[in-house]
């Protein structure tokens, strides 16, 4: 693979990296290659046996393939179990930057719609109540208005698959460039080739009890999209 890992912090227990867009976090089948997990093991062979699943070495949380930004990866099993419990107990603070289609009226809001697997497409999720739906909770805050779009900060308090994408679409504001949850005739900013979603902030507790936080600026492709949009101050 031509992609190199961008590590922004590491110690003996974990590493924090910036995942690029268009990269799957881990394989679903053993024969699947060219994932983030492959890059991690190539650089850190000792992580190969960390965790509960050999296809997900050291990985305690995920980002969608086309979502960029911050991830934490455990380097040993003690750290893996410790970090995993923090995610399960909803103690990890996560913030994402998302550009949505439309003008969100409320400057701040909370979405608490449960999420279940779509009955029509097994790759998709739905914000409709079903027998196996799971509670989900996302808070958001408007950062900037543009013509046809709104830049928001999204704070997921739970970690459901596709949660931010589903929740924002469910209130009528799908993420720009999201092919899976887009609306019919949805506009797309010029030169945006993926969903505009970036893992921007991550805060958690280390094994020695210290709180640690990381920030990641928008990658160049998303910055350039914003620069070409016209701001709306109405």
How would DSSP label each residue in 163-179? HHHHHHHHTT-PBTT-S
Instruction: Please write the tens of the pLDDT for every residue from 134-189.
Output: 899 999 999 999 999 999 999 999 999 899 999 999 999 999 999 999 998 899 99
pLDDT in the model for residue 126: 55
Three-state SS for 10? Answer: strand
The domain defined by 92-234 folds into Pseudouridine synthase (3.30.2350)
Q: pLDDT-based confidence at 44, cuts 50/70/90?
A: very high
Paired residues of 145 in beta bridges: 150
- CB of 15 within 8 A of CB of 73? yes
Return the ∠ at Cα 216 (arms to 125 and 94), rounded to 5°: 45
pLDDT at 59 over 80: yes
The CATH number of the domain covering residues in 1-89: 3.30.2350.10
The reply to whether domains 1-89 and 92-234 share a CATH topology is yes
CB burial string 162-171: b at 16+ within 10 A, e below: bbbbbbbbbb
CA separation for the pair 196, 177 (Å, rounded): 6
- CB of 42 within 8 A of CB of 33? no
- Can you say whether the dihedral through the CA atoms of 23, 28, 32, 36 is positive or negative? positive
Catalytic residues, by residue number, are: 64
The mean per-residue pLDDT over the stretch 100-112 comes to 96
* Domains in the chain: boundaries: 1-89, 92-234
Q: pLDDT-based confidence at 222, cuts 50/70/90?
A: very high
Looking at the whole model, is its pTM more than 0.85? yes
Three-state SS for 115? Answer: strand
pLDDT at 127 over 80: no
For the chain, what percent of residues have pLDDT higher than 90?
79
Q: DSSP state, 130?
A: -
Give me the numbers of helices (H) and strands (E) for the chain, helices first please.
4, 11
Return mean pLDDT, the chain.
91
């Amino acid at each position: 693979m031509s992609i190199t890992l961008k590590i922004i912090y590491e110690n003996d227990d974990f590493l924090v990296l910036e995942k690029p867009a268009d990269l799957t976090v881990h394989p679903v089948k053993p024969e699947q290659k060219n994932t983030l997990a492959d890059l991690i093991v190539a650089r850190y062979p000792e992580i190969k046996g960390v965790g509960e699943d050999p296809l997900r070495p050291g990985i305690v949380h995920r980002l969608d393939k086309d979502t960029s930004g911050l991830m934490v990866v455990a380097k040993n099993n003690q750290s893996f179990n410790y970090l995993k419990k923090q995610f399960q107990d909803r103690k990890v603070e996560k913030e994402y930057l998302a550009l949505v289609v439309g003008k969100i009226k409320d400057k701040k809001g909370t979405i608490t719609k449960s999420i279940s697997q779509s009955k029509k497409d097994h790759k998709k999720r739905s914000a409709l109540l079903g027998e196996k739906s799971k509670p989900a909770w996302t808070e958001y805050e408007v950062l900037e208005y543009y013509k046809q779009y709104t830049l928001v900060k999204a704070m997921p308090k739970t970690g459901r698959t596709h949660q931010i994408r589903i929740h924002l679409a469910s209130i009528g504001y799908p993420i720009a460039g999201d092919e899976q949850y887009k609306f019919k005739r949805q506009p797309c900013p010029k030169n945006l080739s993926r969903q505009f979603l970036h893992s921007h902030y991550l805060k958690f507790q280390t094994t020695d009890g210290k709180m640690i936080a990381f920030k990641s600026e928008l990658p160049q492709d998303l910055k350039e999209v914003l620069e070409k949009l016209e701001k709306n101050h109405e």
